[in-house]
């Protein structure tokens, strides 16, 4: 992924991979020098090595990183720098920029999926407006994409995010946009989307709740209106504000916490480990032996996910298990039918009330009253 004008896919590369770790010095020594003077034609491999040398010179061997950064080392020597962020924090954006510039990564992984990738291209003003507008059109789109229950849950969570946005006047995802911009400035840096798709998360979350648990959770989300200040956000650097608010509401629902937080910890860990694979350097010819070096990765995730990533880093991960959506139970199907009936009943009653109200207002107009009087005089009396 390169630049902000292209549609970022699930996994996009900004260029060839770069090197890191102990092999950096060897790779740098093999870079051919171009003698100043007349322009010279160089091969693609030589051009790569020249840009690689520039990148290695920018990379700090012992970078001075923010306190929010956790360093993890893979078995092959690749290094992963996980930046724990608060999603509405200016300090987090600065932490992301400082980390990427210091370590010059080969891959940047962010806590986004393809369903939320549009926030990387939008400007702050557009995102601020979009976050505040929770319309019927968005509700219809969420229901059509994820089903009634998952769609309603998604809209309620958007309401939580919109509440924070309105309180702070700050659009969400600023740290991810900064990561996207900085990754495009690093030679041969790839940009990966590392979060589990939203539909899978919401469907698994809904399947884990009983009907009354769904009602209770929805009630709590609907009436969330506590005031929030920017100081509150910075105090929550040890645990992301949005995730902390969610944790307070879903604390009595262990299964919901498992699907929304713990399972995504596993998925993010898996994606970071996939990104932290050894990199193969280009060869001048097929006869030249292959050479692989450790990679450097920067992960940008909510602070609440950092402990889970550390915990899962050296364990076996069953990624398929958390990607499947269990079939709905009998009670689940009945609750969905009940929710659909309630939803369409509410829409029908709203239309009826609106139509009746409109007719009443029209008939109350002087012109309408005059017309009715004329019609009554013309009609024959019984």
pLDDT tens digit sequence for 298-312: 999 998 899 999 999
- The pair of structure tokens assigned to 5 is 């004008």
Mean pLDDT, residues 226-239 taken together: 57
- 149-187 pLDDT tens trace: 566 666 666 666 666 666 666 677 889 999 999 999 998
**Phi and psi angles of residue 198, each rounded to the nearest 5 degrees, phi first:** -55, -45
**Phi and psi angles of residue 54, each rounded to the nearest 5 degrees, phi first:** -60, -45
Could you tell me what percent of the chain has a pLDDT over 70? 61
What is the Cα–Cα distance from 179 to 172, expressed in whole angstroms?
14
The residues that bridge with 298 in the sheet, in sequence order, are 81, 108
- DSSP code at position 262: I
- The pair of structure tokens assigned to 382 is 């019984």
Q: What is the mean pLDDT of the chain?
A: 74
Least confident of 95-99, 117-121, 317-321: 117-121
pTM: 0.68
Residue with the larger pLDDT of the pair 289 and 254: 289
Number of residues that this document lists for the chain: 382
* HSE of 336, CA atoms in CB hemisphere, 13 A: 18
Place of tokens 């589990």: 196
- DSSP code at position 121: T
Residue with the larger pLDDT of the pair 313 and 13: 313
Residue with the larger pLDDT of the pair 175 and 53: 175
In a domain, 232, yes or no: yes
Place of tokens 């969570």: 157
In a domain, 1, yes or no: no
In a domain, 347, yes or no: no
User: By three-state DSSP, how is residue 302 classified?
Assistant: strand
Reported confidence tier of residue 85, pLDDT bands at 50, 70, 90: very high
In a domain, 17, yes or no: no
In a domain, 24, yes or no: no
* Residues 168 and 88: beta-carbon distance below 8 Å: yes
Strand ranges inside 107-181, DSSP E: 107-110
**Phi and psi angles of residue 71, each rounded to the nearest 5 degrees, phi first:** -95, 130
Place of tokens 């940009």: 191
Query: What total of structural domains would you count in the chain?
Result: 1
* Residues 204 and 267: beta-carbon distance below 8 Å: no
* Residues 242 and 161: beta-carbon distance below 8 Å: yes
In a domain, 336, yes or no: no
Least confident of 26-40, 61-75, 209-223: 26-40
The residues that bridge with 302 in the sheet, in sequence order, are 85
What is the Cα–Cα distance from 120 to 113, expressed in whole angstroms?
11
**Phi and psi angles of residue 228, each rounded to the nearest 5 degrees, phi first:** -130, 140
Mean pLDDT, residues 35-59 taken together: 66
* Residues 81 and 275: beta-carbon distance below 8 Å: no
* HSE of 231, CA atoms in CB hemisphere, 13 A: 1
- The answer to whether the Cα torsion of 178, 119, 248, 317 is positive or negative is negative
Could you tell me what percent of the chain has a pLDDT over 90? 28
Reported confidence tier of residue 331, pLDDT bands at 50, 70, 90: low
In a domain, 282, yes or no: yes
User: By three-state DSSP, how is residue 73 classified?
Assistant: strand
Domain carrying residue 70: 63-331
Least confident of 79-83, 200-204, 219-223, 280-284: 219-223
Residue 101 CA, distance from chain mean position: 22
- Examine the pLDDT at 148 and tell me if it is beyond 70: no
C-beta neighbour count of 159 within 10 angstroms: 13
Residues 6+ apart with CB under 8 A from 182: 96, 97, 100, 101, 108
Residue with the larger pLDDT of the pair 296 and 199: 296
In a domain, 104, yes or no: yes
Q: Rounded to the nearest 5 degrees, what angle is found at the Cα of 125, between the Cα atoms of 119 and 127?
A: 30
> Exposed e or buried b for every residue in 249-273, given b needs 16+ CB within 10 A?
bbeebeebbbbbbebbbbbbbbbbb
């Amino acid at each position: 992924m390169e630049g902000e004008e292209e549609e970022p896919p699930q996994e996009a590369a900004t260029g060839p991979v770069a090197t890191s770790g102990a092999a950096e010095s060897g790779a740098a020594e093999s870079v051919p020098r171009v003698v100043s003077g007349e322009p010279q034609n160089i091969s693609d491999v030589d051009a790569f090595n020249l840009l690689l040398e520039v990148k290695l010179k920018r990379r700090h061997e012992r970078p001075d990183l923010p306190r929010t950064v956790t360093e993890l080392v893979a078995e092959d020597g690749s290094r992963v720098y996980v930046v724990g962020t608060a999603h509405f924090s200016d300090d987090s954006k600065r932490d992301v920029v400082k980390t990427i510039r210091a370590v010059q990564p080969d891959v940047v992984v962010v806590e986004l999926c393809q369903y939320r990738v549009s926030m990387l291209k939008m400007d702050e003003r557009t995102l601020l407006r979009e976050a505040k507008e929770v319309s019927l059109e968005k509700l219809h789109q969420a229901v059509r994409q994820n089903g009634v229950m998952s769609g309603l849950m998604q809209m309620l969570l958007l309401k939580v995010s919109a509440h924070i946005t309105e309180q702070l006047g700050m659009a969400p995802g600023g740290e991810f946009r900064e990561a996207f911009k900085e990754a495009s400035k690093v030679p041969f840096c790839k940009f990966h989307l590392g979060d589990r798709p939203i539909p899978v998360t919401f469907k698994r979350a809904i399947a884990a709740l009983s009907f009354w648990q769904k009602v209770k959770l929805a009630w709590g989300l609907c009436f969330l209106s506590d005031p929030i200040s920017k100081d509150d956000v910075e105090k929550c650097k040890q645990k992301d504000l949005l995730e902390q608010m969610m944790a307070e509401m879903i604390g009595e629902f262990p299964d919901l916490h498992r699907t929304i937080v713990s399972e995504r910890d596993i998925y993010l860990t898996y994606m970071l480990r996939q990104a932290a694979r050894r990199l193969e350097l280009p060869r001048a010819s097929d006869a030249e032996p292959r050479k692989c070096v450790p990679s450097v990765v920067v992960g940008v995730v909510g602070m609440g996910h950092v402990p889970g990533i550390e915990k899962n880093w050296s364990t076996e991960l069953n990624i398929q298990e958390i990607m499947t959506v269990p079939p709905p139970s009998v009670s689940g199907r009945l609750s969905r039918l009940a929710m659909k009936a309630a939803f369409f009943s509410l829409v029908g009653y709203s239309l009826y009330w609106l139509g009746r109200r409109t007719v009443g207002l029209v008939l109350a107009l002087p012109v309408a009253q005059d017309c009715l009087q004329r019609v009554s005089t013309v009609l024959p009396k019984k």
